[in-house]
């Protein structure tokens, strides 16, 4: 999760998010080089007192500053397109989780198991403990196995919602009457936090998402316990 004075992206908890962070840094370095070059040229022009009476055109410099931006855009577009296709790829999932958005809570269904479904509400402030986070912790956490391809199906029962986990690089709209699908794989154990990212009414700020990533054996034990 994000922390105080954090100026960059959250630490990636999935391969896709790690690639997104790398792409962010890649584009940032290109922007830094462009900003440095343009700033140097502007400062040089402001400080230069010399003028030329004979320089009416510059074919070479005009050709250069037309081709150079096109080449830079290619270096940005190629990894961007690669990431877009990777994010849209759905592998053979080991687990399917369905999320249904309501005003103002989430319902979850583990489609591969019978009668394994629950509602997830935000913990009220007066019931919170010292180990919980305000506006982020829920009474029923999603438990998912790490290092496993997971298919996520998202929909809504009333208005538009958005199921978002920043550290996984996942943001999927929940639309009434429509099933949206995404996939991800959690690469490390821990607790991941997210929130509804679509303005959905008065209590839009109180729809947190909490995922607990555990090894496969602990997930099987949790499923057995929940199915009793």
**pLDDT tens string 171-197:** 999 999 999 999 999 999 999 999 999
Task: Tell me what pLDDT residue 91 has.
Answer: 78
3-state secondary structure of 163: strand
Torsion angle in degrees (nearest 10) through CA of 163, 146, 2, 169: -50
3-state secondary structure of 85: helix
Task: Tell me what pLDDT residue 78 has.
Answer: 93
Query: What tens digit of pLDDT does each residue of 18-38 get?
Result: 999 999 999 999 999 999 999
Model confidence at 86, in pLDDT bands (50, 70, 90)? confident
Q: What are phi and psi of 112, to 5 degrees?
A: -85, -5
Q: What percent of the chain has pLDDT over 70?
A: 98
Task: Tell me what pLDDT residue 6 has.
Answer: 80
Mean pLDDT (whole number) for 59-87: 89
Model confidence at 12, in pLDDT bands (50, 70, 90)? confident
pTM: predicted TM-score of the whole model, two decimal places: 0.82
Model confidence at 128, in pLDDT bands (50, 70, 90)? confident
Domain covering 15-88: architecture: Orthogonal Bundle (1.10)
C-alpha distance from residue 189 to each of 68, 166, 170, 192 (Å): 44, 16, 17, 9
What CATH fold (topology level) applies to the domain 95-227?
Immunoglobulin-like (2.60.40)
3-state secondary structure of 192: strand
Task: Tell me what pLDDT residue 58 has.
Answer: 75
Q: Does 162 score more than 90 pLDDT?
A: yes
Q: Does 76 score more than 90 pLDDT?
A: yes
C-alpha distance from residue 61 to each of 40, 140, 160 (Å): 16, 63, 51
Task: Tell me what pLDDT residue 135 has.
Answer: 85
Residue 121 belongs to what H/E stretch?
A: none
Query: What tens digit of pLDDT does each residue of 56-66 get?
Result: 677 888 888 88
Task: Tell me what pLDDT residue 189 has.
Answer: 92
| Sign of the Cα pseudo-torsion (98, 102, 104, 105, in order) | negative
User: Which among 185, 183, 165, 199 is positioned nearest to 2, based on CA atoms?
Assistant: 165
Q: Does 43 score more than 90 pLDDT?
A: yes
Mean pLDDT (whole number) for 67-91: 90
Q: Does 205 score more than 90 pLDDT?
A: no
Domain locations along the chain: 15-88, 95-227
């Amino acid at each position: 999760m994000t922390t105080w004075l954090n100026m960059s992206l959250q630490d990636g908890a999935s391969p896709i998010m790690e690639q997104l962070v790398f792409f962010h840094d890649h584009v940032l370095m290109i922007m830094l080089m462009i900003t440095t070059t343009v700033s140097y040229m502007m400062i040089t022009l402001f400080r230069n007192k010399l003028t030329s009476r004979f320089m009416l055109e510059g074919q070479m410099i005009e050709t250069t500053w037309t081709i150079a931006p096109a080449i830079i855009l290619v270096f940005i577009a190629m990894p961007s397109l690669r990431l877009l296709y990777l994010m849209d790829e759905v592998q053979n999932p080991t687990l399917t989780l369905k999320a249904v958005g309501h005003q103002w809570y989430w319902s979850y269904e583990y489609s591969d198991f019978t009668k394994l479904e629950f509602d997830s509400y935000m913990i009220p402030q007066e019931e919170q403990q010292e180990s919980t986070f305000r506006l982020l912790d829920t009474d029923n956490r999603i438990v998912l196995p790490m290092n496993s391809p997971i298919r996520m199906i998202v929909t809504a029962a009333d208005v538009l919602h958005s199921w978002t986990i920043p550290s996984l690089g996942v943001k999927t709209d929940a639309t009434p009457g429509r099933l949206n699908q995404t996939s991800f794989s959690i690469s490390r154990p821990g607790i991941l936090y997210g929130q509804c990212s679509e303005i959905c009414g008065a209590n839009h700020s109180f729809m947190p998402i909490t995922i607990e990533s555990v090894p496969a054996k602990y997930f099987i034990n949790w499923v057995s316990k929940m199915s009793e």
